[in-house]
Structure 1
Amino acid sequence: MAVLAAVAIGLSGCGSDGDAAPATSAPPASAEEQFAKASLALTTQPVQFSMEVGGQVAANGWLDMTGRQATVVASLPFGGKTTEMNALMIGDDVWLKVKGNPRLAKWMHTTAADVAGTTFDMANPKNPGGVLGLVNAVNKVQLAGPGLFQGTVDMTTSPTYDPSKVGALAENLRAVPFVASTDGEGRLTSFEVDLSQLVPGMVMAATYSYVTPVTVSAPPADEVTAMPADLLAAIRG
C-alpha cells in the first residue's frame, strides 16, 4: 500500500438551411482539450488545496505558481511512523520543519532544485503541488456531465514508479480510473484516482479552490539551519 501511495501522492456564417452549422464556427472543444484547460488554471491563479492518499499521506496548503510561493502542512509516513511536516516555498528557496523531532525542530533550508520531483516540489510552476504530473498521465478522458470528467490514468509514468516493487500490479497501474470536476469557470476543482481495485478502499483525492493571493514570509534567520544531508536523501527517496 505504501508503494502505491508513493506512486500516487490540470475550448457568423450564413447558409440556405437554418439548421446548417455556421461556416466559420469553431468545433466544440474535445474532452481532452477541456480537461487540459481546466488543469492549467492551477498554474495561473492562487489555489488552496487539500490532498489525501489512502489514509497514509495528507497535505493541505496554498499555492501561487505565478508568484512562486507556497505554504504546506503534510502528514506522511517517515521513519516508521506518521510525521507532520511544515513547508514554505518562495522562489528557489524551500524550508521544512518536522514536528515532534528536536533535531529537526528548526526551519531547515534547501533549494527547489534539491527537492525537485519529490513531495515537497510544491512550487514548481510546471507541476504545482505535483498534480500536473498526474494530470499529464491521463491516457483516457471523456465528459461525464456538465463540469465532470472520467477516464483512466497511467500510474507507471510516475517518477516514483519502480516495477520491481509493484510486481504483478504493474499492468493494472496502466489504466487506473479517475473522476474530476470543474467550477463554473472551467477550472479544476477536484481530482480523484480510484486505487481500490489494487488495494481495497485506497483512493487518492485532491480538491482545489481559487483564492486571493497570500504572501508567504521566510522564517527569521535565527530559526533557520541547513537541511541535514540524511533528511534530504530520505526526501529524495
Structure 2
Amino acid sequence: MKSSRSRLLALVLSGVLTVTAACGGKSDNSDAAPAASGSTSAAASPEADARTELANAFNKLNGVTMAYSMTTESGTAGITKLTGSSDPATRANSGSMTITAQGQEITAEIITVGTDLYLKLGLPIPGLDPKKWMYVDGSKTSLSKLGLGNPDDPTNVKGLTDAIATVERTGAGAFKGTIDMTKRNLPASSAALIQEMGDAAKSVPFEATVGAEGYVASLTVKMPGAGQVPATTATTTFSDFGKPVSISKPAAADVQPAPAALLSQFA
C-alpha cells in the first residue's frame, strides 16, 4: 500500500487535475462560427447569440500569451491552487502549485517547454537535491498521463465550445450553461471517469464571464462525483492577454532526472 506521502507525491505530479483534464481535451485552433448573414430573414435566437459571443471569446484565447489562476476544490479530498503564465507560440508554460490534502500541504513549481517537463517540489525526496529541478521526458511519459494539459493550453479550455450543450446570457459579459463532457477528446484516465458519471456527464454546469477585451475572463465548472472522485469545482481566471512572457528551461547544472519509482506510478 502506498504511504500517505507517496499518495501526495502522486497528487502533485497529477496536479489533482483529473477534473481539469476532463474539462479540456483537444486543442481547437478553428475560428468561431460565423455570425448570421444580414440577409437572413429570421433573427438569431438569444441562445444562438450567446453561444456565438462565448465561442468567439474562447477562440480568442488561441495563440495568445496570458496569465492564469486556477482553484480546484474536491470536497474533503483536497484543494489545488495553480497560478502561472503561458506562451503558446513556444509551447511554454510556467506555474506554481499548492496542494492541500490529507491535512498536509505541498508546493510545486512547474515548467513545460514542448514535451520537456521540469518539476520542483517543496518537500524532501530521498536521493534528490531539493534545490534542483526534476526532469521528465514527456515524449516518453505522456504529459496527459501526469494529469497535465498541453503546454499551449495549460488550463485545458481550448475547443471547449465544441462540448457546450446549453448556454444563456445572464448579464453583460456573463453566461451560464451546461457542457457535454462525452463530446470531449480525453485521455484514457479522464474518459473512464466521465463514463462513470453516466448521464450526469452530459450536462455539467458551468459559468463564464467575458471581459471588455473580448477574452474569456473566468470559467467555473462543477463536475459531479464519480466512483471515488468527489464532486469538484474548478474556477479559472485569465488575464494579461498578449503581454510578453519569458519562459526558458532551467540550466543543465540545475536539473536532475525524476526518480523512476515516482514516474512508475503514471506508467
Partner residue of 1:175 out of 179, 183, 203: 203
Paired AA for residue 249 in structure 2? A
Per-residue deviation, 1:179: 0.5
What residue ranges of structure 1 are gaps of 5+ in the alignment?
Answer: 12-20
What residue ranges of structure 2 are gaps of 5+ in the alignment?
Answer: 1-10, 21-27
Q: Distance in 2 between matches of 1:111 and 1:80?
A: 31
Residues 17 and 148, structure 2, Cα contact 8 Å, conserved in 1:
no
Q: 1:47 to 1:24 in 2, by over 3 A?
A: same
Partner residue of 1:38 out of 33, 57, 67: 57
What is the 5 A alignment of 1:178-197? 178-195=206-223
1:222 corresponds to which residue?
A: 253
Partner residue of 1:86 out of 98, 109, 129: 109
2:3 corresponds to which residue?
A: none
Greater mean alpha carbon deviation, residues 225-234 or residues 180-189: 225-234
1:17 corresponds to which residue?
A: none
2:95 corresponds to which residue?
A: 72
Q: Distance in 1 between matches of 2:175 and 2:194?
A: 31
Per-residue deviation, 1:56: 2.1
Paired AA for residue 8 in structure 1? V
Q: Distance in 1 between matches of 2:224 and 2:238?
A: 23
The root-mean-square deviation of aligned C-alpha atoms, in Å, is 3.6
Paired AA for residue 67 in structure 2? Q
Q: 1:197 to 1:68 in 2, by over 3 A?
A: closer
1:153 corresponds to which residue?
A: 179
- Between the two proteins, what is the percent identity of the paired residues? 27
Residues 45 and 210, structure 1, Cα contact 8 Å, conserved in 2:
no
Partner residue of 1:142 out of 153, 168, 181: 168
Per-residue deviation, 1:163: 4.9
Q: 1:201 to 1:173 in 2, by over 3 A?
A: closer
Pairs aligned (count): 220
What is the 5 A alignment of 1:83-162? 83-103=106-126, 104=128, 105=130, 106-113=132-139, 114-117=141-144, 118-123=146-151, 125=152, 127-132=153-158, 136-156=162-182, 157=184, 158-159=186-187, 160-161=189-190
Q: 1:119 to 1:220 in 2, by over 3 A?
A: same
Q: Distance in 2 between matches of 1:135 and 1:22?
A: 24
Q: 1:102 to 1:217 in 2, by over 3 A?
A: same
Kindly provide the CA deviation profile for residues 65-91 of structure 1, in whole angstroms up to 9, marking residues without a partner as x: 123221111223789954222111223
TM-score (structure 2 length as normaliser): 0.67
SS at match of 2:262: helix
Q: Distance in 2 between matches of 1:218 and 1:197?
A: 37
Greater mean alpha carbon deviation, residues 199-208 or residues 217-226: 199-208
Residues 195 and 201, structure 1, Cα contact 8 Å, conserved in 2:
yes
Residues 140 and 153, structure 1, Cα contact 8 Å, conserved in 2:
yes
Kindly provide the CA deviation profile for residues 120-167 of structure 1, in whole angstroms up to 9, marking residues without a partner as x: 3351x3x34222365544322232232222111234545333657985
